[in-house]
Structure 1
Amino acid sequence: MKVLLSVKPEYTEKIFSGEKKYEFRKQKPRLVIERIFIYECSPSKSIVGWFTVKRILSGSPERIWEKCKNSSGIKKKEYFTYCNGKRVIYALEIDRFLQFETPINPFEIRSDFKPPQNFSYLDCSSICDVVEWWEAGCR
């Protein structure tokens, strides 16, 4: 399954530089993920690339921080603010990644596009069509 995930620009930069090797989430994906497409929030508001997930770690915020802090790409205070009292946090370990030369503007494809709050599963939608078009090498 392909997924669209909203990520702040400072973190997309760190993913593509290799500094950020974990993406933290409060919820675990419901389905097996083949590839995560990155929707970069304001000001870009574009689909800027993708990454694959090597494995998903889960545990208390403290346990996950201890395992991932050196490759987290996030400051401790920001991490624990994000965790906000959650008992379990998920760390998606980034395996491979690719930054698009030309970002995809989802609002040009679909005028009613709504950025995902968490995981948005791409099935039969015009966004999915564009992603598949890109994957086929038609960029």
Structure 2
Amino acid sequence: MSTMLLSIKPEYAKVILEGKKQYEFRKIKPKEYVNHIILYASSPQKQVVGEAVIDEILEGTPKEIWEITKSAAGITRKLFFSYYAGKDKAVAYKLKDVVTYKVPKELSDYGISQAPQSFIYLDRTETVL
């Protein structure tokens, strides 16, 4: 199992953990073998708040991806298309088995000293609950 730690704005991390946002949108696709994410709620929260399994990675034009994900995107159409403005490609991680940490963790718990701009790969073989 390969894992990446994603920096996500706290408001989006919250709706992922609540199950209202079942897709995480990015502009680039990760390495093929990544199937697990750790959710880092960025500033002002600055804590690792949960994790999820990547069920599927979708790629297509922003319009195609919106049509597939809109019912569980957890964001507005306007925000979605604003994020992909000027881009020909959109990537969506379909999330499942989302776990909220009862006690948020620190980046140092993962051997990381500073938050990644977007994401970093972690070398992990087990889930930390």
Q: TM-score, normalised by structure 1?
A: 0.83
Which runs of 4 or more aligned residues in structure 1 lie more than 3 Å from their structure 2 counterparts after TM superposition?
107-110
One-letter amino acid of the structure 1 residue matched with residue 103 of structure 2: T
Query: Which structure shows the higher strand fraction?
Result: 2
- Whole-angstrom CA distance in 2 between matches of 1:14 and 1:120: 22
Which residue matches 1:17?
Answer: 18
SS at match of 2:121: strand
SS in 2 for 1:48: strand
Quote how far apart the aligned CAs of 1:116 are.
1.6
Runs of at least 5 residues in structure 2 that lack an aligned partner in the other structure: none
| Map of 1:68 onto structure 2 | 69
SS in 1 for 2:49: strand
For 1:121, the aligned partner's letter is Y
1:36 CA displacement? 0.2
Question: Which residue identity does 2:72 align to in structure 1?
Answer: S
How far residue 107 of structure 1 moved from its aligned partner, in angstroms, is 5.0
Q: Could you tell me how far apart the structure 1 residues matched to 2:51 and 2:110 are? A: 18
Q: Does the residue aligned with 1:69 lie in a helix, a strand or coil?
A: helix
Paired residues in the alignment total 128
Q: 1:84 to 1:96 in 2, by over 3 A?
A: same
* Structure number with higher helix proportion: 1
Q: Distance in 1 between matches of 2:74 and 2:40?
A: 18
CA distance in 1, matches of 2:56, 2:29: 11
Contact 1:48-1:104 at 8 Å conserved across structures: yes
- CA 1:56–1:108: 2 relative to 1, 3 Å: closer
Offset, 1:119 = 2.7
